[in-house]
A and B are shown apart, each in its own frame.
Chain A
Amino acid sequence: MVLEEEVQIPLDRNTVFQALNDPEVLKQSIPGCEELKQITDTELEATVVIKFGPVKASFNSNVEVDPSQGPELFKLTGKGDAGVAGFVSGGADVHLDENDAGTLLRYVVNIDISGKLAQVGGRLIESTSKRIAKKFFANFEEVLLKRQT
């Protein structure tokens, strides 16, 4: 499954890019994030609870971020294991473009989903994933704006 979306944030690109690399900001922004630990500069471990329709899954996730092409491009790949509920793997490319209104984030997310989630949630996964992505950036913006004040 591929999700493509864009979101405008009224802050400058460097601030936004830095925030994407800040575990504390990520923890507050990721919907259902219960725990997030930084293992190395580029490796994170997170526990995220997500509801796909009737299935509530707690993902133990390993995420690797790649800020090397910043601040124009932020990349991440990751895997999330929810035990018998299923398994998610994928990655995201977030392009950051400066404009008059701040920064335009364009993201392309690739997700493969296995297990019960894919079976029961098949028809719900795309809409749920879109909702989670939207929620993430809404939270992200809120956290950043709060910091500015």
Chain B
Amino acid sequence: MSATAESVQERRAALKGLGTSRKRVEDARFTQGKGNYVDDIKLPDMLFGDFVRSQHAHARVKSIDTSAAMELPGVIAVLTAKDLEPLNLHWMPTLAGDKQMVLADGKVLFQGQEIAFVIAEDRYIAADAVDLVKVEFEELPVLVDPFKAELPDAPILREDIADEKEGAHGARRHPNHIFTWEQGDKAATETVIGEADVVAEEMVYYHRTHPCPMETCGSVASMDKVNGKLTLWGTFQAPHVVRTVASLLSGIAEHNIRVVSPDIGGGFGNKVGVYPGYVCSIVASIVTGKPVKWVEDRMENLSATAFARDYWMQGKIAATKEGKITGLWCHTTADHGAFDACADPTKYPAGFMNICTGSYDIPTAYLAVDGIYTNKAPGGVAYRCSFRVTEAAYFIERMIEVLAIKLNMDAAELRAKNFIRKDQFPYQSALGWEYDSGDYHTAWDKALESVGYSKLREEQSQRVEDFKAGKTRKLMGIGLCHFTEIVGAGPVKNCDILGMGMFDSCEIRIHPTGSALARLGTISQGQGHATTFAQILATEIGISADDITIEEGDTDTAPYGLGTYGSRSTPVAGAATAMAGRKIRAKAQMIAAYLLEVHDNDIEWEVDRFVVKGAPEKFKTMKEIAYASYNQAIPGVEPGLEAVSYYDPPNMTYPFGAYVCVMDVDVDTGVSDIRQFYALDDCGTRINPMIIEGQVHGGLTEALAIALGQEIAYDELGNVKTGTLMDFFIPTSWETPNYQTDFTETPSPHHPIGAKGVGESPNVGGVPAFSNAINDAFRAFGLTHTHMPHDHWRIWKTANELGLHAES
């Protein structure tokens, strides 16, 4: 008996399925520099496009003179809005139901906006020609402050829709106003706040930043005029959506468009949107009959493609004297820039901001979000998070800290007092979500114990005494965070983008010799899909992950899917993979029963084979079944072993985590030093612990960047002040601390394998942990809240304003 058990274990290990820290199969090519990115695509006779962009944030375009550019040898054409207008491509729809200029149509609304597209024989000639295009501007007043958008003297930005009282998301009260989105019970919440023992109020600003993937956005369009087929390679997080949108916009039938996402060098939400460069490269290829490549540079990426965040969140949180939260109120002013190009499900113009009750059992809540136009780049994408979930988590985790100060209570204790209890799941939140599962108290206790929380607080108190006594100039901050995410959009009944339901898909072919090919509707940008999806499938169908090829990103071969963002790949496509695997197994069971000459019900699945119940020596392995499925006539069963699943999840998944950050802050230099960072993540079933750890490290580092310095800052003229990596903070190994990772495992009850998604958790939870640590360092000196990013200068300024630099 023990021998059999051992061999079962050995066979299970050989599959390298769920729970295995399998090395990433992608890395063989990446570590050898053999990745194939958009800019690696080189086609015969390929031309290059480059944009003339606006230097002004708001101006009328009075004239565009392309004659000098056209005279430069090697320049093929210069496209302007006038050239695109007959094709009706001078404007394009955004993912948020607004429209956006492809090339400036009479005016420009943000610095870096696309004005003309130069097509030349090489990219150097194109860049030289860009300098030769003369644009005459008439400057207009610039609006950069969303709170000034509706003042009487505010310039009207969107003259094209100035008179429209209804937008894509309901009534508009002003030409610069996009939408108001309300959730929860306003009257009840205001009553609770009016009658509460304690109310804490704060304005919490989550500043504008940018996903800044290592590879910038780009595309190569190739129109084959002989067979009428358009092929478009690009940095697309959602290639199938791009195909559908390209078909709708261009009028080219969808079967004549092939969209390919090759290797992608990081997306983080930046590559979800549709950009003028894609449209212009397509038009240029149609016009010239040659392939046209467009790849933006770093400044173009930072200043013109989709930004993230920029939410001003005014909050009120009510509680009893004992610290039981009774109500939460939030009004958000959302700066969307010049066009509403947020990548959110259609019914959620502020994404899932209504997850802002966080991990807490808050009986009454109200949220309103006002979207505002300003003279800034469009975007508002989910930068390594599900739609607006980082904003929501930052808001509630700051409000909890502010409330703890008001109650004069320990912030860890306040959290524990208000967590949704394990027995309350599935939990219906006041703002409309059904949390699928969770065990917050267990995770929280484990986190606090692991870091030695009470000792840390004692040390902190001693530090304050020492500081006051002049023995040290460094304060100590303890940043706590317990976040709950909502990922895996989503049920088609409430989640779609441009009307396209947010299901996902997997198609599996088992080859006669027992290896397999699986194709999915998602696309990896570094997440390691080729590694992890093979592991899901290995456990489901008993074929080693090493014998399964995963393919994504080519719309001619992959099944239709909505792509990879918002941690939806594992919750949705991962579920489709498991479900398709189960279809394979169901057919395999019929074949095995036939081969073993028993009834279907008399055999059972065991790791990689079907075994006759009670007769373990009688079995058929999946490999044997695969061969038989193709090569043996089985009555009533079609040849072959293939399956497809299109999975529409019944609910979203709710990963959570408990993070603690311990920091020393130098009051005189503003330098923060991260002493310890502990991250406990609960992402349900863990597919590949090594990849999870890598995801957590990466997400925490991006969180560190955002919390401690990374921003897209504008001056009052609408100039992007952080348009290069000299000013836009990307942490290096110098700034990045060691991370200590940990986990609990609370499987999702509705997901086929119980997995919840993890790639974005560390960004969602990391930002509040870093920020809370900075704020906490100054709590003893009267600070309630200070805005991110907490760069050295701002920390110094905070210390200065608190009088900590005064001569003693």
CB within 8 Å of B: which residues of A? 83-87, 112-116, 118-120, 122-123
Contact status of A119 and B57, CB under 8 A, knowing A84-B130, A114-B719: no
Question: Which residue of chain B is the closest to A60 with respect to CB atoms?
Answer: B134
Min distance, Cβ A111 to any Cβ of chain B, angstroms: 11
Q: Cβ of A120: which chain B residues have Cβ within 8 Å of it? A: 299, 723-724
B715 and A118 contacting across the interface, CB-CB below 8 Å: yes
B299 and A119 contacting across the interface, CB-CB below 8 Å: yes
Q: Cβ of B715: which chain A residues have Cβ within 8 Å of it? A: 118
Per the bound structure, the CA–CA distance linking A87 and B724 in Å amounts to: 19
A119 and B717 contacting across the interface, CB-CB below 8 Å: no
B55 and A114 contacting across the interface, CB-CB below 8 Å: yes
Contact status of A119 and B719, CB under 8 A, knowing A83-B134, A84-B130: yes
Q: Cβ of B225: which chain A residues have Cβ within 8 Å of it? A: none
| Interface residues of chain B: helix, strand, loop or mixed (majority) | loop
Contact status of A113 and B719, CB under 8 A, knowing A83-B134, A119-B303: yes
B717 and A116 contacting across the interface, CB-CB below 8 Å: no
B52 at the interface (CB under 8 A from A): yes
B475 at the interface (CB under 8 A from A): no
Min distance, Cβ B642 to any Cβ of chain A, angstroms: 53
Nearest 6 CB-CB pairings of A with B = A115-B55, A119-B723, A118-B719, A114-B55, A87-B55, A86-B55
Per the bound structure, the CA–CA distance linking A119 and B721 in Å amounts to: 5
Total A-B Cβ pairs within 8 A: 53
Counting chain B residues whose Cβ lies within 8 A of the other chain, the interface size class is: 20 to 34
B469 at the interface (CB under 8 A from A): no
Per the bound structure, the CA–CA distance linking A62 and B571 in Å amounts to: 61
| Interface residues of chain A: helix, strand, loop or mixed (majority) | helix
Per the bound structure, the CA–CA distance linking A66 and B56 in Å amounts to: 28
Interface residues as binary, B518-562 with A (CB distance below 8 Å gives 1, 0 otherwise): 000000000000000000000000000000000000000000000
Min distance, Cβ B509 to any Cβ of chain A, angstroms: 50
Contact status of A114 and B727, CB under 8 A, knowing A84-B131, A119-B719, A122-B721: no
Q: Which of B52, B55, B303 has the most CB of A within 10 A?
A: B55
Contact status of A123 and B53, CB under 8 A, knowing A83-B131, A113-B719, A114-B717: no
B111 at the interface (CB under 8 A from A): yes
A115 and B111 contacting across the interface, CB-CB below 8 Å: yes
Q: Cβ of A113: which chain B residues have Cβ within 8 Å of it? A: 717, 719
Q: Cβ of B720: which chain A residues have Cβ within 8 Å of it? A: 118-119
Per the bound structure, the CA–CA distance linking A118 and B56 in Å amounts to: 11
Q: Cβ of A83: which chain B residues have Cβ within 8 Å of it? A: 131, 133-135
B303 and A118 contacting across the interface, CB-CB below 8 Å: no
Min distance, Cβ A9 to any Cβ of chain B, angstroms: 34
B806 at the interface (CB under 8 A from A): no
B717 and A112 contacting across the interface, CB-CB below 8 Å: yes
Q: Cβ of B131: which chain A residues have Cβ within 8 Å of it? A: 83-84
Interface residues as binary, B43-62 with A (CB distance below 8 Å gives 1, 0 otherwise): 00000000011011100000
Per the bound structure, the CA–CA distance linking A115 and B113 in Å amounts to: 11
Min distance, Cβ B278 to any Cβ of chain A, angstroms: 22
B226 at the interface (CB under 8 A from A): no
